[in-house]
Chain A
Amino acid sequence: GAGVSQTPSNKVTEKGKYVELRCDPISGHTALYWYRQSLGQGPEFLIYFQGTGAADDSGLPNDRFFAVRPEGSVSTLKIQRTERGDSAVYLCASSSISGNEQFFGPGTRLTVL
């Protein structure tokens, strides 16, 4: 079956611009996670959704970052006024309600010039 998909695969933007990153989880998975991975480091947790609501957004670095999941399926990570330090690979994962195994997408590589 289809895995987690993320679009776009690459995004280049200029400092100060707004970007949206999309995640399509595995069908039927109620839990959805966003992580961010900087070069040479392990992924870092950003936010967790259970259904439509953000159950934990403690990993979002500041109020420029926001994520939604209005219908409990597709999620969008939104970054306002991008900064060069936001450049990273943004990973999305989903899991079933038991959540032992998280299934990751291929990521979106964001480059802020």
Chain B
Amino acid sequence: DAKTTQPNSMESNEEEPVHLPCNHSTISGTDYIHWYRQLPSQGPEYVIHGLTSNVNNRMASLAIAEDRKSSTLILHRATLRDAAVYYCILRDRNDYKLSFGAGTTVTVRA
């Protein structure tokens, strides 16, 4: 499985943007970049995914580097509810299982 590297933790202030980096230097051409988050005492929740182009949805934006060796999840205005562990996952287009790493623990200060 292709691996991802994320910072262990990040802090943000409420109402400010949060930029979560992810390095995946061994990504293959058929790997999609998926992001999930896990709120305390809950199961993981899908956030966004992309292949090459930047993606936006109601939860977040995903910015993908031109060489695809890194990506950044952007939460535009952090709220206290966004405090969670965020996982960056590479998933081959022909695969189905998710390979989670340790993720980034995001803390949001009021």
Contacts and interface: CB of A to CB of B under 8 A. Distances in A.
Given A41-B102, A42-B87, A42-B103, A99 B42 contact: no
A70 interface: no
Q: Interface residues of B toward A: which range?
A: 10 to 19
A45 B99 contact: yes
Nearest to A95: B96
A43 B85 CA distance: 12
Interface stretch (A12-20, A71-79, A100-108): A100-108
Given A91-B43, A102-B46, A104-B43, A56 B98 contact: no
Contact of A42 (B45, B49, B97, B101): B101
B62 to A, nearest CB: 13
Nearest to A103: B46
A38 B65 CA distance: 32
Contacts of A56: 96-97
Contacts of A93: 43-44
B27 to A, nearest CB: 17
Interface string A4-23: 10000000000000000000
Contacts of B103: 42
Interface of B: 41-46, 49, 85, 87, 96-103
17 contacts: A33-B96, A33-B97, A33-B98, A42-B102, A43-B100, A45-B97, A56-B96, A59-B97, A91-B43, A93-B43, A95-B96, A99-B96, A102-B98, A103-B46, A105-B43, A107-B42, A107-B43
